[in-house]
């Protein structure tokens, strides 16, 4: 009898472990409601074991399982009251490990799939999830592989990137930590750097411009004219950098998106519409004369407008309001610049 009771207890413990793993797997798929987690926990159990059991009892058991997941499996399932969903905020015990050759492949994909690559966002989102579930040491190996791949790119960047900045960004991205740095922006006439505190999200090399860039969410910055939100920083203009103890927020701040509508003249649209890096095209309306009306969205007004300026007089921006306003401002300043040159001559 004692032996059977011991075996029954062990079987019960294994059922708890299986439930907890099922809950974690569901959270790995994406944000999950309490009912989603409960459904995952019950999916691999005998349905007869739950017949007649009140929902409140099952929810109480789920709360206990969530406590076990955090305490024993060292996975922090965070409940976002704003969305009413659970997400994996942090892990102290890695949920994944991969062979060295797979880590080298991840590093290669991160370097190869730049903004010009198809499915860039989807590929980097997948790689980011894989990174998140690896241990810190294994993430560090990916950065080591990337460093070897980046050496050639680094030599092609005309900026001088300080070793401490390079090392600090590598650490911050692998450990998902905030950073504080001094940034020298050309928009300031006094030539003095400003202090920024940011959540770093992506570091990439732009083959068109030949520079390294950091895409980050600015939490705090010095200067009355500065603003918070997503900013693309040129890494070569970061003078000093310190990795902060604060971890990145469990929920990434929403990226503002702006409508874009522009018209392409027949001489550039007849043979097809080029996909631009900074504009996600949603609809293309082709006209009988060979011209095209393009509608889409952008997350970056600055770069979207400059991408459209590449077309010169063969492109006319029609909207949305923010993009049109920025284009009118830039074109107006350019017209004023050339008008002043004309008056001097």
CB 107 within 8 A of CB 149: yes
Assess whether pLDDT exceeds 50 at residue 4: no
CA distances from 342 to 189, 312, 313, 336, 339 (A): 26, 20, 20, 10, 5
Range among 136-150, 179-193, 240-254, 309-323 with highest mean pLDDT value? 309-323
- Whole-number pLDDT of residue 159: 76
Rounded to whole angstroms, how far apart are CA atoms 47 and 68? 23
pLDDT tens, residue by residue, 231-245: 889 998 998 899 999
Closest by CA to 260, choosing from 246, 273, 248, is 273
* Residue 135: CB atoms within 10 Å: 15
Q: CATH 1.10.10 residue ranges in the chain?
A: 2-91
Q: Mean pLDDT for the chain?
A: 84
- Whole-number pLDDT of residue 285: 93
With cut-offs at 50, 70 and 90, classify the pLDDT of residue 3: very low
Distance of CA 319 to the CA centre of its chain: 26
- Whole-number pLDDT of residue 266: 92
Tokens coding 321? 């309001």
- Whole-number pLDDT of residue 316: 94
With cut-offs at 50, 70 and 90, classify the pLDDT of residue 86: very high
Torsion of CA 124, 128, 131, 136, to 10 degrees: 120
Rounded to whole angstroms, how far apart are CA atoms 228 and 210? 26
CB 168 within 8 A of CB 240: no
- Whole-number pLDDT of residue 5: 43
User: Does residue 275 or residue 17 have the better pLDDT?
Assistant: 17
Assess whether pLDDT exceeds 50 at residue 209: yes
Closest by CA to 228, choosing from 250, 198, 248, is 198
Find the mean pLDDT for residues 225-254: 84
Closest by CA to 236, choosing from 143, 171, 152, 166, is 166
Q: CATH 3.30.70 residue ranges in the chain?
A: 258-344
- CATH annotation of 258-344: 3.30.70
When mean pLDDT is compared across 76-85, 150-159, 283-292, the lowest value belongs to 150-159
- CATH annotation of 2-91: 1.10.10
Q: What is the pTM of this model?
A: 0.54
- Whole-number pLDDT of residue 317: 95
Find the mean pLDDT for residues 80-108: 90
- Whole-number pLDDT of residue 1: 43
The helix-helix angle for 2-29 and 55-71 (nearest 10°) equals 80
- Whole-number pLDDT of residue 323: 94
pLDDT above 90 as % of the chain: 38
pLDDT tens, residue by residue, 6-51: 444 555 888 899 999 999 999 999 999 999 999 999 987 877 666 6
Find the mean pLDDT for residues 242-262: 86
Rounded to whole angstroms, how far apart are CA atoms 80 and 31? 9
Place of tokens 């001088």: 160
Place of tokens 């691999």: 44
CA atoms within 13 A on the CB side of 45: 23
- HEC secondary structure over the chain: CHHHHHHHHHHHHHHHHHHHHHHHHHHHHCCECHHHHHHHHHCCCCHHHHCCCCHHHHHHHHHHHHHHHHHCCCEEEEEECCCCEEEEEEECCCCCCCCHHHHHHHHHHHHHCCCCCCCHHHHHHHHHHHHHHCCHHHHHHHHHHHHHHHHHHHHHCCCCCCHHHHHHHHHHHHHCEEEEEEECCCCCCCCCCEEEEEEEEEEEEECCCCEEEEEEEEEEECCCCCCCEEEEEEHHHEEEEEEEEEECCCCCCCCCCEEEEEEECHHHHCCCCCCCCCCEEEEEEECCCCCEEEEEEECCHHHHHHHHHCCHHHEEEEECHHHHHHHHHHHHHHHHHHHHHHHHC
pLDDT tens, residue by residue, 123-167: 888 888 998 899 888 888 887 787 666 655 555 566 778 888 988
């Amino acid at each position: 009898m004692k032996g059977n009771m011991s075996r029954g207890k062990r079987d019960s413990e294994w059922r708890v472990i299986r439930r907890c793993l099922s809950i974690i797997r569901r959270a790995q798929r994406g944000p999950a409601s309490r009912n989603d987690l409960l459904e995952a926990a019950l999916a691999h159990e005998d349905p007869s074991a739950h017949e007649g059991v009140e929902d409140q009892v099952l929810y109480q058991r789920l709360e206990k399982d969530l406590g076990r997941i955090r305490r024993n499996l060292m996975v922090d399932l965070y409940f976002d009251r704003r969305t009413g969903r659970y997400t994996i905020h942090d892990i102290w015990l890695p949920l994944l490990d991969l062979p060295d050759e797979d880590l080298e492949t991840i590093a290669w994909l991160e370097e190869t799939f730049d903004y010009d690559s198809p499915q860039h966002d989807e590929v980097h989102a997948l790689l980011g999830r894989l990174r998140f579930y690896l241990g810190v040491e294994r993430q560090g190996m990916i950065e080591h592989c990337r460093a070897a791949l980046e050496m050639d790119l680094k030599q092609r960047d005309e900026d001088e990137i300080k070793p401490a900045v390079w090392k600090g960004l590598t650490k911050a991205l692998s450990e998902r930590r905030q950073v504080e740095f001094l940034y020298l922006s050309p928009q300031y006439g006094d030539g003095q750097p400003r202090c920024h505190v940011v959540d770093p999200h992506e570091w990439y090399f732009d083959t068109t411009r030949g520079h390294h860039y950091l895409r980050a969410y600015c939490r705090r910055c010095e200067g009355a004219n500065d603003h918070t939100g997503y900013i693309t920083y040129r890494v070569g203009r970061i003078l000093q950098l310190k990795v902060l103890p604060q971890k990145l927020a469990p929920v990434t701040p929403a990226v503002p998106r702006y409508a874009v509508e522009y018209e392409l003249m027949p001489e550039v649209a007849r043979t097809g519409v080029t996909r631009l890096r900074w504009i996600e095209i949603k609809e293309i309306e082709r006209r009988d004369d060979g011209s095209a009306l393009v509608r889409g969205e952008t997350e970056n007004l600055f770069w979207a407008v400059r991408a459209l300026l590449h077309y010169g007089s063969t492109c006319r921006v029609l909207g949305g309001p923010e993009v049109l306003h920025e284009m009118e401002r830039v074109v107006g300043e350019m017209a004023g610049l050339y008008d002043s040159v004309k008056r001097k001559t």
